[in-house]
Amino acid sequence: MERKRAKREGGADNGGADSGGADSHSRGRAVAEVKLDGAGCSGGGDGSLWAQCGHGQAKEPVVFRGAAVHWPSAFWSPTLLATHQAFGRCNVKALFHRANERPASEADCITRETTLKQFAQWILQGDRSTPPPPPPARDVDAACRGGRVADAVKSEPEPSESDSKHKKCANLDNAAFWFGTEGAVTRCHYDTYGCNLAVQLDGTKRWTMFPPGVARGMYPTRLPFEESTVRSSVDVEAPDASAHPDFVALAAHAAQWVELGPGDVLFVPHGWWHHVRCTSTAISTNLWISHPADKRALLSEAMTQYVVACVSEQQPTWFCPTQSPVTPSQALALLGAALDANGVHLQHDRDSGDITEALLRRRIAEALINPSVIQDVVDGVLR
């Protein structure tokens, strides 16, 4: 682990020399740091990571240095991913963008289906100008997103006692896996569901975060649509004050940032905006934790998807590459499931006490054509 800690320190120095994010960094402050003294992610004890996060209810981000250094997955590296047969069974979606470009969203990237093992081999070969055809004209930055990796690594050894403790903090079956080259960026957004623990396994990443209270200055957008993701229209690394004056006035000063290295764990509170840049080739995972607001958010997400489905006519450009377009009927079924989760049930029997599909459609229409909503829509169209 000494090798990885040294790499983290080197990555921090390199990150400081990178001009990306300098505007936000000059105005905000560093994320608070906590040293756990070996308590790890245990669910018990006042000194545990989970307790330090307020059991998921903390309102400010915090980084736990070295909290995951003893997890078996902390020893994952590009070389391991490129050679272990288990990762050849893990399908991922790889996103490529030309080096030094600033893609507005994942929809602006070239997308390729591959395996985690193949992606790692591509990274290690050194020549990044030729990803799977058609190749970009210049060198590229790349990142891959994996959903569950648990199924792909069943041949791995059983977790140690220290590793199993963090199952008290999050459901690992819902963990997301991230692997990117230096320069790969996840543009600023917030997640509508839960809060999460970001665990850095290898390499370094720089996180820039903003609290929910500055949403007006973040210029939120839902297109291209991806469930649970609300993006900012602002390039927080190079904000345009003329296009986004409220970001400079309301949000920039509230930024918090941190450089994560191997073994570090970052708690991201519910609703916090975050922009992430790989400052070296980096491997990390996110452990999502449920939040009391999730049931309501589930309904809001289903409603949003229904509106997008009705207006978009399933145009692919309206949807993120990781999100499959749906028809209005499919979206309405998702909305019905969300209503079920909130204790409201769709029934076709008009004599029941529950609402019918026809009544649901009417209520949606009445809400959307409310004069105040229509005025907001008109203002948005004319903006």
* Residue 356 in tokens: 């019918």
**CA angle, 3 as apex, 11 and 287 as ends, to 5°?**
70
Question: How are the residues of the chain apportioned to helix, strand and coil, as percentages rounded to the nearest 5?
Answer: 40, 25, 40
Residue 368 phi, psi (nearest 5): -75, -30
β 29-30/256-260 pair status: parallel
Selected from 3.40.1500.10, 3.40.640.10, 2.60.120.650, 2.60.40.4070, the CATH number assigned to the domain covering 2-289 reads 2.60.120.650
Helix H, strand E, coil C: the string for 246-288 is HHHHHHHHHCEEEEECCCCEEEECCCCEEEEEECCCEEEEEEE
206-261 pLDDT, tens digit per residue, is: 999 999 999 999 999 999 899 999 999 999 999 999 999 999 999 999 999 999 99
104-139 pLDDT, tens digit per residue, is: 667 778 888 888 898 899 888 876 666 554 444 445
Environment class of 272 (CB within 10 Å of its CB; exposed 0-12, middle 13-18, buried 19+): buried
336-358 pLDDT, tens digit per residue, is: 889 888 888 766 555 555 667 88
Q: Could you count the other beta carbons within 10 Å of the beta carbon of residue 11?
A: 25
Instruction: Give the residue range(s) of CATH 2.60.120.650 domains in the chain.
Output: 2-289
245 φψ region: left (φ > 0), alpha (ψ -120 to 50), beta (else): alpha
pLDDT computed for residue 352 by the predictor? 55
* CB distance 207 to 304 below 8 Å: no
Q: Could you count the other beta carbons within 10 Å of the beta carbon of residue 30?
A: 11
Percent of the chain with pLDDT over 90: 40
Most confident of 36-50, 154-168, 294-308, 333-347: 294-308
| Strand partners for 220 | 232
pLDDT computed for residue 158 by the predictor? 35
DSSP H or E run through 98 = strand 91-98
Torsion over CA: 170, 92, 160, 157 (sign):
positive
